[in-house]
Amino acid sequence: MKYNSEVVNIGGDALSLYEGIKSLILFNDSVLDESLKDIALVHKSSQLLEDIAVGDEIRIGENELYVTAVGDVALETFKNIGHLTMRFTGSGEVNLPGEIAVFGELKNIKIGDKFTIK
């Protein structure tokens, strides 16, 4: 297990971004900016034990997502503030250096869901 956490808040617009542009923004619970909380899935701070890499499985509750690309600064922001922008493209490339691309779909997400990377 590379990362083990739990969803503690789901911003009012977080799932709208997924529906609209197939993105999910995550921050850990150290984020203070209310406007960021409103667009993000917030998870408990935890330690990333190994770098996120292509082929890793991300689970959020019952959702299984697979990493297909990792941007140049995505690991740094995730380690510092638990921030990821996941793009649901399944592509082998990212558009922005802070993104990761994933393959899979989001169904139900709720507060208390486990958030893991392995």
Which residues are CB-neighbours of 6 under 8 A, at least 6 positions away? 43, 44, 112, 113, 114, 115
The pTM of the whole model exceeds 0.85: yes
Would you write out the chain's pLDDT as a tens digit for each of its 118 residues?
A: 999 999 999 999 999 999 999 999 999 999 989 999 999 999 999 999 999 999 999 999 999 999 999 999 999 999 999 999 999 999 999 999 999 999 999 999 999 999 999 9
Cα–Cα distance measured from residue 14 to residue 85, given in angstroms and rounded to the nearest whole number: 11
